[in-house]
Amino acid sequence: MLRVGLTGGIGAGKSTVAGALADLGAVIVDADRIAREVVEPGSEGLAELAAAFGPTVIAADGSLDRAALAARAFADDESRLTLNSILHPRIGARTQEYVQAAPADGILVQDIPLIVEGGMGAAFDLVVVVHVDEAERLRRLTEYRGMEESDVRARMAAQATVEQRRAAADVWLDNGGAPGAIVEDVRTLWIERLIPFERNISEQSGVIAASDIVEANPEWAGQARRAIARLGLATGGRSLAIEHVGPTSVPGQPARDCLDILVTIADAATAQELSAILGGAGFPVDSGATTPDLADLQARAVGNSYRLHRGCDPLRPVAVHLISPA
């Protein structure tokens, strides 16, 4: 399964992108919808909110009065923590139910507004950010949704900055063009990246970069940071060191377009375990490789065990070099 995180600022058009992906065959898990589900009339979540914040948070029709809840729950830090303790476990459990129900060979897209703010990017194989500049989002939200300008500005100020979203984005979708234009961008993303990415994961087939030397890409460093974060999460904080090495780690240096990530492991038993884990995380072992690709890794590998894994993303080749005691 390919897991994609979809995010963007308020008014950027995440729903349009999610709808286009659903039409193409993706399984969509919408965090906002789940947050509403767990407090539906008659639910345990709604009953617990009423017990914690009083019956006034329940509207006359039995539904949650969100304005009344906000007035009580955000009055102080203790109330906010109480709210989170009621909602977050239920949202997490329901989300997991949807994830587990998705087909093993599917493309799962989790629409989560706060992926960047919550530092959740490493949990996904790919993070897609939908972007529209602030002035245009303000116009759309006030004109089309009838929101108050002060409310829109306050919500924007509480969300991640453009720079923070760019740092988290594997895919940047600009939705500032003509209405509907982004749907074609989504279709291209689906055909050229998501489908082959999922196929590579299912077949445990890593991507080998082209041998051509290309001009230095200023995005290599950020791409490497995201790859390292994913590897770190997958390996669960075991005793190892993960670093970006090789030509693409040198700013301004032309190189083959492949991110080389070195994982140094303290013991052979852990290396064996991690090799299996990385395959499940989208970095399968390259069984045909017996020596490091990079000359500067040869010396480190002497007298040690070496394994080469490759990433499954068709548009972002990654080579993961595992070195451990023999």
Q: Where are the domains of the chain?
A: 2-200, 213-325
Give the list of residues 6+ apart from residue 297 with CB closer than 8 angstroms, or none.
Answer: 245, 262, 306, 321, 323
* The two structure tokens encoding residue 286: 């390259």
Q: What is the CATH number of domain 213-325?
A: 3.30.460.10
Per-residue pLDDT of the chain (326 residues; tens, 9 = 90+): 999 999 999 889 999 999 999 999 999 999 989 999 999 999 999 999 999 999 999 999 999 998 888 888 877 889 889 998 999 999 999 999 999 999 999 999 999 988 999 999 999 999 999 999 988 888 888 888 888 888 888 888 888 999 999 999 999 999 988 878 999 999 999 999 999 999 999 999 999 999 899 999 999 999 999 999 999 999 886 768 899 999 999 999 999 999 999 999 888 778 888 888 999 899 999 977 666 667 677 777 777 888 899 999 999 999 999 988 87
CA 221 – CA 243 distance, rounded (Å): 11
- For 80, phi then psi, to 5°, come to -65, -40
Class for the domain spanning 2-200: alpha beta
Give the list of residues 6+ apart from residue 249 with CB closer than 8 angstroms, or none.
Answer: 220, 221, 224, 260
Do 2-200 and 213-325 fold alike per CATH?
no
The whole-angstrom distance between residue 272's C-alpha and the CA centroid of its chain comes to 27
Q: Is the pTM of this model over 0.75?
A: yes
CB 17 within 8 A of CB 213: no
